[in-house]
Amino acid sequence: MAYKGTIGILTGGGDVPGLNPAIRAVTVRAMREGYRVVGIRRGWAGLVEIIPDKEADNSGNFQELSENIVNPAARTGGTFLHSSRTRPSHLPVSNVPVHLRDTYTDEINDVTATVLQNIDFLGLDYLIPIGGDDTLSYGYRLHKEGVKVVAIPKTMDNDVPGTDYCIGFGTCVTRTIELAHTLRTSAGSHERFLVIEVFGRYAGYSALMPTMAGAADRCVIPEVDFDIEHLAELLVYDRNRRDSKYSVVLISEGAKIKGDMSMSYLGAEKDQYGHAKLGGIGIRVGAELKRLSPKYNGGKRINVVNQRLGYLVRCGAPDALDSIVPMAFGNLALDLILEGSSGQLVNIQDGIYGSRSLECINAPHKVVDVERFYNLERLRPSYLAFDRVPLLVMTAD
């Protein structure tokens, strides 16, 4: 088949199950359509650190892909191309590659000019970044610079604007349900509250959807600050009407107790996108529930089983949804390339595959429509009006 051009593909931000199936889908379809595919290693870092010399060792920065490489990788989790949170428009001087240190000397540097030179060096006709809104926001920057970009959304939080679904979310929900049910045995054995902290910096989908599926009695989400006394009262009620005497709450990592000024963080260090690592709200909530429980339980204290799921829901192989959706997203990306379209985000809207302008990535984070999907009084999903809703219930609009 006649050679049509070269497509670059990269994965940025946190790892999720489903990235390797997406890389496979792009590679297999592209090669069959006459394209060469280059995998950029370590997200945007690979494009920053390339030495534009054919004699240089760039094996750590990119590799040519083939079916023999991507087919076995697609059966595994994570990303075999590796990932990073590198932000080329805001690169600290400590992260500037040695061969560029005479060029970029500011404390924070915009190295986009170098990225563009390296894209030319690789001969990329199209670039397919797979990532969340941070990774894709720089993809949009490159689009504005004239690079032909077709983006694929990925994140555990499912909060990329412009799409109902992001790669990784299905496995996150599946694992959360499985682990919550597994942890019930310990909570029930000791007649305790089970407090589970899950992903969700700005959006509560990863707490709300598992709760809707029966993984928990209550959930608290970042979209609304919650009253800890009210949560304690509800969990005591749930526990005491259950024969095995336990109750379960899912806590989004970005949730805030009413009166708090900020989210709970594991430290003050921030990544290149300005995010500090979240964590600890589950521990705080558990301690408060333990303290408040006698007030609603006849003076008797209720102890807590506390678990932060973290990487347990993002490691390992993808579930069925995160094997099928990446296949479709990869082929959608090739459909757009074959049409000559760029500056697009592949998406799912109201249960239908499609695409929209990548400019949507600059919109505010996609969050749960609280009025439609969350019962503020009961601290749980709303179970009303399911007729004619798409498979995943909650939509991006």
Distance CA(86)–CA(272), nearest Å, equals: 6
Q: Which is the catalytic residue, given 157, 217, 238, 322?
A: 157
CB 368, CB 204: distance < 8 Å: yes
Judging by beta carbons within 10 Å of its beta carbon (0-12, 13-18, 19+), is residue 285 exposed, middle or buried? buried
Q: Give catalytic status of residue 157 as yes or no.
A: yes
Provide the strand spans (E) within 274-350: 276-278, 304-308, 344-349
Alpha carbon distance 218, 240 (integer Å)? 15
CB-CB contact of 356 with 151 (8 Å) = no
Are 62 and 9 in contact by the 8 Å Cβ rule? The answer is no
In whole angstroms, what is the distance from residue 88 CA to residue 85 CA?
A: 10
Beta bridge partners of 8: 38, 127
For residues 346 and 151, the answer to whether their CB atoms sit within 8 Å is yes
C-alpha 301/C-alpha 307 separation (Å) is 19
Residues belonging to the active site? 157
